[in-house]
Amino acid sequence: MAQSVGIKDVARVAGVSVGTVSNVINRPDTVATETRARVLSAIDRLGYVRSESARQLRAGRSRIMGLLVLDMGNPFFVDVARGAERAARQAGLGVMVCNSAQSAGEEADYLSLFAEQRVRGVLLTPTDASGRNIDAFRRHGIPFVLVDRVADGTTECSVSVDDVAGGALAVRHLVDAGHRSIAYVSGPPGLNQVRDRRTGALNALTEAGLGPGALRELPTERLDVAAGRDAGARLLGLADRPTAVFCANDLLALGVLQAMYAAGVGVPDDLAIVGYDDIEFAAAAAVPLTSVRQPAVPMGALAAELLLEETEAENGGPRQHEHRRVVLQPELVVRRSSLAAR
């Protein structure tokens, strides 16, 4: 196995001191042009890469921000990561993206990894409804910001979307189209987002003078296309099948759409469908999907900016940081999957 190249090797090849090599790497303006060129040539020849872990030990600060999301298979969280990465890059930081896969155990493992690596801070979409993972992580003193989740019972910053309003937008649209019996394909009941979207749906039914019985809930264990297909199969088996379905995210909605297509059920003529998130695939579906749009990229960027502000304030930066909850507003994007009225 080849040995790694160290700063002493660069100094030996360039014929300078270790301190001079360090200055070329960290403070190049302090080194004469000819000497700097000689050191850079040695670095290039030897393939030297500085040890980030050693630099962090000296500086006491990491240049890495952690991002832990529910499901990187969901394009919504890819967009959140894009926004966070954009803000981090502008601050000279990198982002370590991890996927809890909607597992509290995976979430705990990744939070432990972030603590071991002493990351600058963490952007977190929690999956553990009990809050134990967050409580355990808080003891490490590493700042974190909740993403796509309101910081209930905590003092930390959060950036989320008003999911109650989003659920109301979806179901109000279906009620206005003439539907009086609506299914809600909801996802894991332990997720706040799922519960809030259901609350919004019920609020819209109440506004329309309809009782909660007008909403038939079909829970799923996951928020993916396969779970949507399973929910679609259950929907097809109902004797008094609803005329419309609201799904807790677009992946579930796309799965329901696939199940209807396979069974020969027309969308939207026989069943109207509304999703949530407005991922790129929603508009590109065989029947373009009506969806509640979340500003995913701005959400990730804003969460990263709040985290950077907090970490800078902790290290004597010019700005004072106050924890705050930012709630963004959703938007209904109407497409063909919900346009026909019963």
Residue 52: the pLDDT is 52
Global pTM reads 0.80
Report yes or no: 242 and 213 within 8 Å, Cβ to Cβ. no
Q: Apex CA 277: angle with CA 274 and CA 280, to 5°?
A: 95
Q: Is 41 helix (H, G, I), strand (E, B) or coil?
A: helix
**ω into residue 268 within 30 of 0, thus cis?**
yes
Q: Residue 50: what pLDDT?
A: 64
pLDDT at 59: 47
Give the model's pLDDT for residue 57: 44
What's the pLDDT score for residue 29? 86
Residue 61, pLDDT score: 63
pLDDT at 26: 78
Q: What is the pLDDT of residue 149?
A: 86
* Low-confidence spans in the chain with pLDDT less than 70: 1-4, 50-61, 151-154, 313-319, 340-342
Strands 325-328 and 182-185: unpaired
Q: By the 8 A CB rule, do 222 and 256 touch? A: no
- Nearest-angstrom CA–CA distance, 236 and 282: 22
Q: What is the pLDDT of residue 194?
A: 94
Rounded to an integer, what distance in angstroms lies between the CA atom of residue 185 and that of residue 179?
16
Dihedral angle sign, alpha carbons of residues 258, 259, 263, 266: negative
pLDDT digits over 4-42, tens only? 678 888 889 999 998 898 888 878 888 999 999 999 998
- State the Cα torsion 262-264-267-269 to the nearest 10°: -170
Give the model's pLDDT for residue 255. 98
- Comparing CA positions, the residue from 87, 4, 3, 107 lying closest to residue 53 is 4
pLDDT value for 290: 98
CA distance 223 to 234: 16
